[in-house]
Amino acid sequence: MTAPRPAPTRRNVPSLRAAALTYRVLVRQVVTPGKLVALGSLGALIILVGWLVGITAGDRDRSAAELLRDGAGYADGFGLIILVPIVALVFGSSVLGETREDGTLVYLWLRPMGRAPVVAGAAAAAATAALPLTVIPTALGGLLAADSVSGSGDLAVAAAAAAALGTAAYSSLFVLLGLLVRKPIMWGIGYVLLWEGLAVGLGDFAARLSLRGYTRSVLSRVGDIDYGFDAYTTTTALIVLAAVAVAGLALAAVRLNRLEVD
């Protein structure tokens, strides 16, 4: 009698390949026409209102410094407080949350892949979908609100950098939220409106627990112009935003590893 053949061992998919596979699968699924139209319209509205703000401010013969401060305030108030977290919430919370609900996640789950690469690929997919919809309106809205005066180019670059970093951090945070709770959009909107929108005005300690304080610091520092913000240093802002992104991904990987996906 011949000895039975041993069962073939399943080789784990290398981490980079697993992350890339997850990214390719989820980026196509998370980007839907409905989301693009709704969020693209919100971004277009922010650009339009920024243009109107710039025209109105220019008619009042404000100085260049005042216009730059207005533009920075507009990019902060409408881009970093509203647009960036909401767009990141829609894509971040759905990239694994919705796939878990509709059963798509099981196809990734059955592959011999580590959970950390799956989460990293999912967060990259969410950020890829969100970045154009946050960076362009925030930068262009701030530029137009400043009436395109001298120095507004630096403002646009700073607004783009702040929006990009904020989008990455929020996306990681909301990927975790999508795995923790049902109906993450409702929880996320509550967080964005009640905490991110108010924390900066509640004192220094509360501001330190809000991502908004760090994204607006990037806006203030990268442009190298006094926008009138009480900002953290660029290094502090970058470290905190990166730490939030990494912590969100790590906790999401732990949560995903404990979930039963069917």
Number of neighbouring beta carbons within 10 Å of residue 58:
14
pLDDT tier at 138, thresholds 50, 70, 90: very high
Q: In the Cβ-directed half-sphere of 87, how many Cα atoms lie within 13 Å? A: 34
Q: Which residue has the tokens 């262009």?
A: 140
Q: What is the pLDDT of residues 199-254, one digit of tens each?
A: 656 666 666 778 888 898 899 888 777 766 666 888 999 999 999 999 999 999 88
Cβ burial, residue 227 (10 Å; 0-12/13-18/19+): buried
In this prediction, residue 139 carries a pLDDT of 96
The residue among 87 and 258 whose pLDDT is bigger is: 87
pLDDT tens for each residue of 99-132: 766 666 666 666 667 778 888 999 999 999 999 9
What mean pLDDT is reported for the chain? 83
Maximum Cα–Cα distance across the chain:
97
Q: What is the reported pLDDT for 103?
A: 61
pTM: 0.86
Is residue 101 within 8 A of residue 257, CB to CB? The reply is: no
Q: Could you give the CA distance from residue 58 to residue 144 in angstroms, rounded to a whole number?
A: 10
Burial of 128 (0-12, 13-18, 19+ CB in 10 A): middle
- Tokens encoding 56: 């109105």
